Every structure is written in structure tokens, then in C-alpha cells.
Amino acid sequence: MSVQSVHDHSSHRSVRNAILTGVKCRCPSCGEGRLFDKWLKVTPVCNACGEELFHERAQDFPPYITISIVGHIVVTLLLIVEANIELSMTTHLLIWVPLALVLTLALMQPVKGGVVGMQWALRMFGFDGKGQDD
């Protein structure tokens, strides 16, 4: 007797919807359960639908995306301000360092959620329902 998975392996998983649901920090499978137990620790199993989420392997990709987003925002604003207002170096440091820190902390969890959602939708690692983690 073989064990059958609860989920249909042939069903289509929308990458767009899974990423958007992950960005909202919700389970990419049901959209209801919380994706994170702690700030960046993914819950092993969704408390709403039972989807196994411990397969995620986001690793360095969310920080890379976050650095790219924050860098584009901060550098663009810095150039706009520098072109229009003359500020001292101290004032620049007092503006841009805290802004970069706050943006990084605010974006890290939603970005990681989006990456986990993408991995789930593309059936990467163990998200294919076969129980393999490679």
C-alpha cells in the first residue's frame, strides 16, 4: 500500500499568485496560514492547510533582492536631493543610513516570503510533493 499525497501534483501553481501571497507573509498554498514563525524563520508546516514549508531554501537570494531594491531607492533619492539641495556630509549620513536600515528591515520578510512562494509554485526542492529535499 502506497502513501498518497494530499495535493494533486499535476495541478497548475501560479507563480505570480504564489509570490504575491508570499510577499503578504501568507502560506503560498492556501493564502491563509502564517508563513513565518519568527521574523525570518519559515514555519515548518502551515497551520491552516498543512502544507509542508520546511523545504524552502531561500538562503542568500532574499538579501540580494533586498539590497538591490534598497540601493535603487536610496541612491535615486540621494541623487535627487544632492542635485537640488546642498547638505553637509553629516546630514547625508543622518538621512541615508537610517533610511537604508529601515527599508532593509521592512523589506526583508516580504521579499523572503516572495522567494518561498516562488519556490513552492515552481515545485523546487521538496515542494514537488515527493518528499525529496534536493
The percent of residues above 90 in pLDDT, for the chain, comes to 84
pLDDT digits (tens, 9 = 90+) for 6-25: 444 558 899 999 999 999 99
Cα separation, 127 vs 122, in Å, equals 8
Cα separation, 122 vs 15, in Å, equals 7
Q: In the chain, which residues have pLDDT < 70?
A: 1-10, 130-134
92 to 44, 48, 67, 74, 88: CA distances (angstroms): 42, 46, 19, 11, 6
pLDDT digits (tens, 9 = 90+) for 50-60: 999 999 999 99
6 to 25, 49, 74: CA distances (angstroms): 23, 10, 45
pTM: 0.85
